[in-house]
């Protein structure tokens, strides 16, 4: 059975903001790379920065 090693997905950075939460990737042991692309059209800089901070990993 194939194993997922890389995941890419796109989310809108809405005027209401983006909430980062548990998206259920805990049972994917081979997953090495997750890339989240934020669509930031028609949002203010503060909303874009909030969305980026919500989805960034702190290490």
pLDDT of residue 59: 39
Rounded to whole angstroms, how far apart are CA atoms 22 and 59?
Answer: 17
- Residue 1: its pLDDT value, please? 61
Average pLDDT, the chain: 77
Domain ranges (residues) in the chain:
1-18+30-59
Residue 58 pLDDT grade (very low, low, confident, very high; cuts 50, 70, 90): very low
What burial class does residue 52 get, using C-beta atoms within 10 Å of its C-beta: 0-12 exposed, 13-18 middle, 19+ buried?
A: middle
In tens, the pLDDT along 30-50 reads 989 888 888 888 888 888 888
The residues pairing with 57 across neighbouring beta strands, listed in sequence order, are none
């Amino acid at each position: 059975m194939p194993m997922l090693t890389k995941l890419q997905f796109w989310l809108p950075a809405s005027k209401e903001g983006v909430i980062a939460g548990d998206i259920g990737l805990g049972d994917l042991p081979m997953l090495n790379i997750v890339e989240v692309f934020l669509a930031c059209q028609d949002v203010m800089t503060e909303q874009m920065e909030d969305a980026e901070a919500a989805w960034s990993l702190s290490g």
